[in-house]
Structure 1
Amino acid sequence: MAGKSKKKVDTGFCLFGAEIMGKLTEDLLSEADGVRESDDIEYIHRMRVASRRIRAALPLFTICFPGKEYKRLRKSIRAITRSLGDARDLDVQMDFLTSYLETLPDEAPPLWYAGFLPPGEETTVMVQEEEEERPAPPEPSGIITRITEVIRRMRSYLAGEMAVSVQPAPPPHSPSLRPGIECLLLRWTERRTALQPDVISAVDTFEASGVGDELLEWSRDQIISARLHDTDSHSRFAYETAYRVISKKILDIFSYERYIPDPEEVRKHHEMRISAKQLRYTIEIFRDLYPDRLKEEIQSIKHLQDLLGDMHDCDVWLEVLPAFLEEEEARVSAFFGHPGFMQFIRPGIIHLARDRRTRREDLYRSFAAYWETMKSEGLFDRLRQKILEPLVIGPQSSHLQTGSDPIRIAFISDIHGNLPALDAVLEDAGRRGVSHILHLGDLVGFGPFPEETIRRIRGESITGVAGNIDTDTLLMKKKNCKKKDSEKEIALCWTRRHLSKESRRYLAGLPGEIRTRAGGISLLLTHGSPVSSTGRIGPDTPDTELSEYAASTGAAVIITGHTHIPFARTIDDCLFINPGSVGRPHDGDPRASYCILQTDPLSVCHIRIPYDIDAVTDEMEAVKLPAIFKTILRHGITIDEARLLMHLPEEKDDSISAGHRSEPEFTWYEPGRRNE
């Protein structure tokens, strides 16, 4: 395996990152003064969101920053995000309590206005002179003023400056709800007030660190340099990164699907909310790469996030309210010597807890139903296809739909680590003027050049799907190869050991299928059949089975691999194509096989290309791969056929089987004619 090399920085991708980071940093810094003043809770909300978006974006553009600088920037952004968290949460809860009070009956029990409310740790009240007469209760809108007045009167009473007339409590069947909520709001207000100095200090510290200014300066430098060199931010590396990270975030959110049926999986639902938020932030970072800016997908995922967020808010209340009652009862008992005053606080808190429980149940049902709707409408599949499309036919794909020249796409499959065969095919395809090359999986396995094959595929910007052997190779990570293992297991274990971490990550990120269009024709690419990566579509596949695939997929052309045998047939106006195998044919012809699809007129050309098979078999022997794979390669046969052949006399096993020609060979197929 080749040694490690330093990653080359893609200037277009760093320009894209600079445009994103510059805007987010400006958003962050613009809210600082508003956060200090604390006149509007939206300032701290916007600043926190901007910091979280920067946190989500920074790891994506790591290669654009020196290592130490990146770590310092990320640490500083993480610190400001965390410092705003508790304050923002309290702001949201206080805003909710204020709105919740407006839904309750307007009550003014005399006991509440003249009674006692023990002060909290942060409550400060100025004791005034004794008043001659008791003022009327304040309006409900002056909640804090009203509670502060209660505390002032209580202090005056204890100082002997006034008398208190305590009336009987309300009847049990109609408890007063407002006092408990008002008390809760007072305590939260005290906590929020106590946090404000720390919030201001955190904002001051962040501004003094100069991190924001550094990010702005870095962004400006990247943009100016890129303009001088006519750099395009829509680089292929940007699209590859977008596809990789968004696909991973989709997998992350689906990892929580098994917890959806259980409404009591509170912690997992909260983690799913975070996953949905991270997916949305990631899509929003890359949305400018795509013509429709992925608006529909962002809106749908935001709605999912909002449902999960509202559920989480309910869960938080259901967790904190019992603790609040315990704390308040301890405060009341310490102040009065008994918990009797809790009869005025407890009803409102219990009512709020029941309300949040009911609301949580309603939200859960909406969330579970919406998740099923998202899946049934294919939202995640559409998202995958949209972010994959630029990698298949280029960022500016519209010209393929409207251009007058026919499109020529080369399809390659089942390379199986055979680099010389791949090199020969790519050279031939280049001479024939193909506009795009797409692969159908099984890049590795059995051949002696797995790492080099993936590097060549990536270097040529060839996009494709995962094959079953690609997946099987990755699953070998926990298996120790032994002599008693099958030849396949030995070969796959060897292959995985000789793949770099980056190449394994690339294989793991390959999609199961690709849907795209070329010249107005819809294409579906899979490794096996449309329903399985090990499904087989070839000369022996019944027309009835192909007809089912045509109806279920809706594609005009279905291209598959896996069988290692070239094939083309039209059923129900759907063209089925198998390009055969580049690196390990099974039809008795050891030459590399691939095909070219032309859109106008629609036709397929299967091509056989000779290459240096001896170079491959010699390397197989050098790295000690099982000998049976040399026989397979030399004769173009299956492993079962190779086992039989290896028991026969070895007269002809040193030369390429059956005297196959050393020149390319072409076979044309046009739909409407049974000429395959």
Structure 2
Amino acid sequence: MGGRNKKKIDEGFCLFGAEILQKLMGDLTAEADGVRESDDIEYIHRMRVASRRTRAALPIFACCFSGKDYNRFRKGVRSITRSLGDARDLDVQIDYIRSYLESLPVERPPVWYAGFLPPTDDVTVLHESGSAPDEMALIVTEKKTLTSRITLLVRRLRSYLTGGVAPPVKQAPEVAEPLIRSGIECLLLRWTGQRDALHPDVIKAVDEFEASGIGDDLLIWCREQIVSARLHGTDIHSRYAFETAYHAISMNMEFLFSFERYITDPERISEHHQMRIAAKQLRYTMEIFRDLYPDRLKNPISMVKQLQDILGDMHDCDVWLDVLPVFLQEEEARATSFFGHSGFMRFIRPGILHLASERRMKRNELYRSFVGYWSEMNERGVWDEIKKTIIEPLVIGSGTGSPENTQEPERIAFIADIHANLPALDAVLADARQRGVTHILHLGDLIGFGPFPEATVRRIREEGITGICGNIDTETLLMKKKDCRKMAKKTEKEIALCWTKKQLSKESQSYLFSLPREIRSAILGRTFLLTHGSPTSTTGRIGSGTPDTELSGYASSTGADSIVSGHTHLPFTRTVGGCLFINPGSVGRPFDRDPRACYCIVNRDPLSVCHIRVPYDVEAVTGALLDADLPGIFSVMIRNGLSLEEARFHSVENNPVKPGDGVSAQCTFEPSITTPEPR
């Protein structure tokens, strides 16, 4: 978990966290007195929401605390959230029951009449002087509560059913059956009783939270961070803050979209509930980081909130449809125990069934709204807007080693297919710095086949290099332990991916999972689209053999000025239909019979593309492959710049490889860009 001593802490990020947590904890503690003393359900609602938001924010800023403090704060906030949960849920249900009763027509005479109770709320006593029932007089004294009315009804009804009191001669007027209100009022009675019974526990939880001092201690920490940061002129807009925001929001979007396939099935109630939770987490995360962005993510937050509200209302209906049958069973058991039979349920059951029918119809209506709204969000490009907003500061601000660099770049580098070859990556980064590159972007396949997967991912993150996920990255993450154990005859690729998965920390796996499948950004005055393979597939291939017609199709369908892809491990540049296509080649596993690392630089003015070849310590890599007990064929590939298929049939004696000496560069320029010859 958190731990300030384990790694260098970004002070700007911790200042940002302190400002967020100070407001959230202030909101939480401000509601305590209202929760204790007021009948207004909004106090508990606001306190619970504040605790949930605080609970969502704490893990994001865990690195700013010591492990001991973080765990204490997290457990304390989680405790108050749970303590308020049942009470808040009952408050919502009770509030709905009351509003539902108000929507029902008045039933005259009420079901409580029929000789057992007076026909108005202001009547409390039936004067029974021993005369005939039609001579009974009503004595108005005070308005009774629902509880006393139910008690009086039960007493008279029981007496009537056991023969103690004769039924009245005067009958109530004919009314339409079934009567609804009595069942709903009984439900309100039970729920209100449960809520009253919970309130002492709620007060106790609030008192214990305040007595623990967790809220005060967290507020003190926040104030200390803010004062110290202001003295040193610390800015919250650090690269680390933007990177953390990007990964946190991206992960929550991935979680939300993991349920997309269940949207069209109205019966996937559990998945719709999980989707509601995912939407809430995404919204909370965007709200935590919104102050980093000029538009504060206003439109996306608003639309995700509406999605969450629809799913929340659907979930409320689902809860009602679950609890109402249970309530009927419990009431029937209670009536049978009290009266000796379940005849009294004729007063209760119609209202509950009526409510269940209304909730079912409402659920169906909300489901249709949900499906339509999801389509609307896709059509309006909400998800693309979020992705573009959170990636832009990293693309434009991604420097080579500096924490932040927000000036418009004049020269950027693209790297691809590193494949856990750390020495090759280090050589490329050093060369790019010498050439004045201010921004580097990667095109995926950071891992797989090479001996340094964890170190490679860490280096990419340390250097602030933004990029996308490659097909091997994805395949590695999806490898399962049981599958690796079951494979009796694994291929070289399967051996490599199983080994790689074991080497990756949870943090690195989480980072790789969060990488987007593509990035679209304005760079060098052009619209660049970054993909690993082709715009339609992470395993698509764009290279010298791709027909112009296919490239023209990509250009028109994407609307991009430049499309940069990897995957082929072969450097490539071509302009078709005004769209510039680039493949920077491979850093860690070139396939063009030149083992030197390959990457490319794009200059703004004049627009040019230069493919750079950089030598590195190949023997350090092959030695590490041997130490890791990875297939020897990988060493053949790296030493000779060959693909796996070529390496299987390669003979150095018959097919000598002649790598270039030192560093070399081949540059092409607009408008007549040609593919550089492989070295």
Which residue number in structure 2 is paired with residue 188 of structure 1? Answer: 191
- Per the TM alignment, residue 561 of structure 1 is displaced from its structure 2 partner at its CA by 0.8
TM normalised by structure 1 equals 0.88
Query: In the aligned structure 1, how far is the partner of 2:124 from the partner of 2:73?
Result: 46
Which residue number in structure 2 is paired with residue 106 of structure 1? Answer: 106
Secondary structure (helix, strand or coil) at the match of 1:445 reads coil
- The Cα offsets for residues 259-297 of structure 1, whole Å up to 9 and x where unpaired, read as 333322323322222222222212211222222221222
Which residue number in structure 1 is paired with residue 634 of structure 2? Answer: 629
- Per the TM alignment, residue 222 of structure 1 is displaced from its structure 2 partner at its CA by 1.4
Query: In the aligned structure 1, how far is the partner of 2:48 from the partner of 2:562?
Result: 49
Query: In the aligned structure 1, how far is the partner of 2:157 from the partner of 2:502?
Result: 81
Secondary structure (helix, strand or coil) at the match of 2:138 reads coil
- Asked if residue 57 in structure 1 is aligned to residue 57 in structure 2, the reply is yes
Which residue number in structure 1 is paired with residue 562 of structure 2? Answer: 557
- Per the TM alignment, residue 446 of structure 1 is displaced from its structure 2 partner at its CA by 2.8
Give yes or no for contact 1:592–1:610 (8 Å, CA) kept in 2: yes
The structure-2 alpha-carbon separation of the partners of 1:450 and 1:312, relative to structure 1 and needing over 3 Å to count, comes to closer
- Per the TM alignment, residue 328 of structure 1 is displaced from its structure 2 partner at its CA by 3.0
- Per the TM alignment, residue 174 of structure 1 is displaced from its structure 2 partner at its CA by 3.5
- Asked if residue 266 in structure 1 is aligned to residue 278 in structure 2, the reply is no
Query: In the aligned structure 2, how far is the partner of 1:167 from the partner of 1:293?
Result: 70
The structure-2 alpha-carbon separation of the partners of 1:116 and 1:213, relative to structure 1 and needing over 3 Å to count, comes to farther
- Per the TM alignment, residue 631 of structure 1 is displaced from its structure 2 partner at its CA by 3.1
- Per the TM alignment, residue 30 of structure 1 is displaced from its structure 2 partner at its CA by 0.8
Query: In the aligned structure 2, how far is the partner of 1:23 from the partner of 1:641?
Result: 61
2:235 to 232, 237, 241: 232
1:416 to 415, 419, 425: 419
1:386 to 389, 393, 411: 389
Query: In the aligned structure 1, how far is the partner of 2:526 from the partner of 2:102?
Result: 59
- Of the structure 1 ranges 150-159 and 176-185, higher mean CA displacement relative to structure 2 is found in 150-159
- The Cα offsets for residues 84-106 of structure 1, whole Å up to 9 and x where unpaired, read as 12221121112112211222112
Secondary structure (helix, strand or coil) at the match of 2:276 reads helix
Query: In the aligned structure 1, how far is the partner of 2:405 from the partner of 2:652?
Result: 54
Alignment-mate amino acid for residue 630 of structure 1: S
Give yes or no for contact 2:593–2:659 (8 Å, CA) kept in 1: no
Which residue number in structure 2 is paired with residue 255 of structure 1? Answer: 258
Give yes or no for contact 1:147–1:182 (8 Å, CA) kept in 2: no
- Per the TM alignment, residue 574 of structure 1 is displaced from its structure 2 partner at its CA by 0.9
Query: In the aligned structure 2, how far is the partner of 1:482 from the partner of 1:437?
Result: 38
In the alignment, structure 1 segments of 5+ residues that lack a partner are: 118-124
- Asked if residue 177 in structure 1 is aligned to residue 190 in structure 2, the reply is no
1:514 to 501, 514, 519: 519
Which residue number in structure 2 is paired with residue 612 of structure 1? Answer: 617
The structure-2 alpha-carbon separation of the partners of 1:634 and 1:332, relative to structure 1 and needing over 3 Å to count, comes to closer
Which residue number in structure 2 is paired with residue 496 of structure 1? Answer: 501
Give yes or no for contact 2:423–2:616 (8 Å, CA) kept in 1: yes
- Per the TM alignment, residue 325 of structure 1 is displaced from its structure 2 partner at its CA by 2.7
Query: In the aligned structure 2, how far is the partner of 1:170 from the partner of 1:127?
Result: 21
The structure-2 alpha-carbon separation of the partners of 1:480 and 1:517, relative to structure 1 and needing over 3 Å to count, comes to same
- Of the structure 1 ranges 557-566 and 580-589, higher mean CA displacement relative to structure 2 is found in 580-589
Query: In the aligned structure 2, how far is the partner of 1:163 from the partner of 1:498?
Result: 84
Which residue number in structure 2 is paired with residue 16 of structure 1? Answer: 16
Matches within 5 A, 1:115-194: 133-134=137-138, 145=145, 148-149=148-149, 151=151, 165=168, 168=171, 171=174, 173-194=176-197
Give yes or no for contact 2:113–2:172 (8 Å, CA) kept in 1: no
Which residue number in structure 2 is paired with residue 120 of structure 1? Answer: none
Give identity over the alignment, percent: 62
Query: In the aligned structure 2, how far is the partner of 1:659 from the partner of 1:337?
Result: 96
- Asked if residue 315 in structure 1 is aligned to residue 318 in structure 2, the reply is yes
- Asked if residue 644 in structure 1 is aligned to residue 622 in structure 2, the reply is no
Which residue number in structure 2 is paired with residue 526 of structure 1? Answer: 531
The structure-2 alpha-carbon separation of the partners of 1:544 and 1:78, relative to structure 1 and needing over 3 Å to count, comes to same
Query: In the aligned structure 1, how far is the partner of 2:447 from the partner of 2:581?
Result: 24
Matches within 5 A, 1:360-399: 360-394=363-397
Give yes or no for contact 1:590–1:635 (8 Å, CA) kept in 2: yes
**Matched pairs, number:** 652
Matches within 5 A, 1:455-494: 455-478=458-481, 479-480=484-485, 485-494=490-499
Alignment-mate amino acid for residue 451 of structure 2: P
- Per the TM alignment, residue 130 of structure 1 is displaced from its structure 2 partner at its CA by 8.4
Matches within 5 A, 1:441-452: 441-452=444-455
- Asked if residue 81 in structure 1 is aligned to residue 81 in structure 2, the reply is yes
- Per the TM alignment, residue 31 of structure 1 is displaced from its structure 2 partner at its CA by 0.8
Matches within 5 A, 1:38-49: 38-49=38-49
2:510 to 505, 510, 524: 505
Matches within 5 A, 1:536-547: 536-547=541-552
Secondary structure (helix, strand or coil) at the match of 2:355 reads helix
Query: In the aligned structure 2, how far is the partner of 1:261 from the partner of 1:429?
Result: 49
Which residue number in structure 2 is paired with residue 291 of structure 1? Answer: 294
Secondary structure (helix, strand or coil) at the match of 1:596 reads strand
Secondary structure (helix, strand or coil) at the match of 2:457 reads helix
- Per the TM alignment, residue 361 of structure 1 is displaced from its structure 2 partner at its CA by 1.2
In the alignment, structure 2 segments of 5+ residues that lack a partner are: 118-122, 130-135
Query: In the aligned structure 2, how far is the partner of 1:164 from the partner of 1:425?
Result: 98
The structure-2 alpha-carbon separation of the partners of 1:331 and 1:496, relative to structure 1 and needing over 3 Å to count, comes to closer
2:586 to 581, 594, 603: 581
Query: In the aligned structure 1, how far is the partner of 2:19 from the partner of 2:185?
Result: 46
- Asked if residue 71 in structure 1 is aligned to residue 56 in structure 2, the reply is no
- Per the TM alignment, residue 530 of structure 1 is displaced from its structure 2 partner at its CA by 0.9
Query: In the aligned structure 1, how far is the partner of 2:510 from the partner of 2:429?
Result: 24
The structure-2 alpha-carbon separation of the partners of 1:605 and 1:209, relative to structure 1 and needing over 3 Å to count, comes to same
- Per the TM alignment, residue 454 of structure 1 is displaced from its structure 2 partner at its CA by 2.2
Give yes or no for contact 2:398–2:466 (8 Å, CA) kept in 1: no
- Per the TM alignment, residue 166 of structure 1 is displaced from its structure 2 partner at its CA by 7.6
Query: In the aligned structure 1, how far is the partner of 2:100 from the partner of 2:247?
Result: 44
1:242 to 240, 245, 251: 245
Give yes or no for contact 1:474–1:508 (8 Å, CA) kept in 2: yes
Query: In the aligned structure 1, how far is the partner of 2:235 from the partner of 2:644?
Result: 48
Which residue number in structure 2 is paired with residue 666 of structure 1? Answer: 666
Query: In the aligned structure 1, how far is the partner of 2:306 from the partner of 2:57?
Result: 22
Query: In the aligned structure 2, how far is the partner of 1:254 from the partner of 1:577?
Result: 30
- Per the TM alignment, residue 462 of structure 1 is displaced from its structure 2 partner at its CA by 0.7
Alignment-mate amino acid for residue 601 of structure 1: P
Superposition RMSD in Å: 3.4
- Of the structure 1 ranges 424-433 and 606-615, higher mean CA displacement relative to structure 2 is found in 606-615
Which residue number in structure 2 is paired with residue 35 of structure 1? Answer: 35
- The Cα offsets for residues 324-371 of structure 1, whole Å up to 9 and x where unpaired, read as 233334444444454444333332222111111111111112212222
- The Cα offsets for residues 597-621 of structure 1, whole Å up to 9 and x where unpaired, read as 1233332222222333344334444
Query: In the aligned structure 1, how far is the partner of 2:648 from the partner of 2:175?
Result: 88
Secondary structure (helix, strand or coil) at the match of 2:522 reads strand
Secondary structure (helix, strand or coil) at the match of 1:371 reads helix
Query: In the aligned structure 1, how far is the partner of 2:451 from the partner of 2:212?
Result: 53
- Asked if residue 301 in structure 1 is aligned to residue 308 in structure 2, the reply is no
Query: In the aligned structure 1, how far is the partner of 2:638 from the partner of 2:498?
Result: 19
- Of the structure 1 ranges 459-468 and 10-19, higher mean CA displacement relative to structure 2 is found in 10-19
Alignment-mate amino acid for residue 310 of structure 2: L
- Per the TM alignment, residue 505 of structure 1 is displaced from its structure 2 partner at its CA by 2.9
Query: In the aligned structure 2, how far is the partner of 1:137 from the partner of 1:289?
Result: 64
- The Cα offsets for residues 46-80 of structure 1, whole Å up to 9 and x where unpaired, read as 01111111111122222222223322222222221
The structure-2 alpha-carbon separation of the partners of 1:392 and 1:156, relative to structure 1 and needing over 3 Å to count, comes to same
- The Cα offsets for residues 454-496 of structure 1, whole Å up to 9 and x where unpaired, read as 2222221111111222223334442149895433333334433
Query: In the aligned structure 2, how far is the partner of 1:419 from the partner of 1:531?
Result: 29
Secondary structure (helix, strand or coil) at the match of 1:594 reads strand
Give yes or no for contact 2:453–2:504 (8 Å, CA) kept in 1: yes
Give yes or no for contact 2:126–2:139 (8 Å, CA) kept in 1: no
Give yes or no for contact 1:17–1:61 (8 Å, CA) kept in 2: yes
Secondary structure (helix, strand or coil) at the match of 1:442 reads coil
- Per the TM alignment, residue 183 of structure 1 is displaced from its structure 2 partner at its CA by 2.4
